[in-house]
Amino acid sequence: MADRLMENGVEAISYHSTPPFYSQVSKRSSVFHFGYPEELVATYLDPEIMESDPVPDHVMSVGHVMSWRQAIVDQKLSEKHRNYVKMVRGLGFVDGVAVPLFGPNSRNSYFSMNFGRNMALDDEAIVRPLVGLAHSCHRRICAIISRSGEDEPPLSERESEVLYWISRGKSNSDMAVILDISKATVDSYIRRLFKKLQVNDRISAVIVGLSNSLIKLT
């Protein structure tokens, strides 16, 4: 999805994976991100910073796609919100598109696309299919989470470590070096992990891990 979006002029994206009924900027949210510098991500994921972002929850309450600028103009901002907006503008953020994603069982998420420029009405033809792609991916994620069940899967300490390194994109060979075990042992842990999480691939394992607070993308 990130590749498709960036082929169409998107500079960076973010996706908030949040348990039902929680704020999209709460400490329970995990944020997938592509295209943003790591130091900027680390700043945003500071709970005090993320909770000051006025856009996600406003867009979710309004229920339709809008630009970041419009989401900010539409609200009466608190002081912490105004400080946040001043900070991100100082970091060079111009405008983007904010998208509310709704799923079954109140599994809703906030999605944003950073175009690095002011958005205009003429951009609708570009944005509409990209929003459709985001909705499609969100429905797929919801299906994976629902299939995993509601109970937190019981993982061993080593299985938790393996899941953590999977979420960081490490290969089996990388994990063997990091954990100082054989590649065959890593393969065995991954098979057990997939069975417990009721998944068949790494991306699904990370999604289920995030939905059950087994890992966080920080």
pLDDT of residue 150: 53
* Beta carbons of 119 and 180 less than 8 angstroms apart: no
Residues of the chain with CATH 1.10.10.10: 157-211
- Beta strands of 141-191 (E only): which ranges? none
Query: In a 10 Å sphere around its CB, with 0-12 CB exposed, 13-18 middle and 19+ buried, how is residue 132 labelled?
Result: exposed
pLDDT of residue 122: 85
Residues of the chain with CATH 3.30.450.80: 2-148
Nearest to 164 by CA among 151, 178, 150: 178
pLDDT of residue 163: 92
Amino acid at 36: Y
Q: Which CATH superfamily is domain 2-148 in?
A: Transcription factor LuxR-like, autoinducer-binding domain (3.30.450.80)
73 versus 212: the higher-pLDDT residue is: 73
What fold, for 157-211?
Arc Repressor Mutant, subunit A (1.10.10)
pLDDT over 90 at 141, yes or no: no
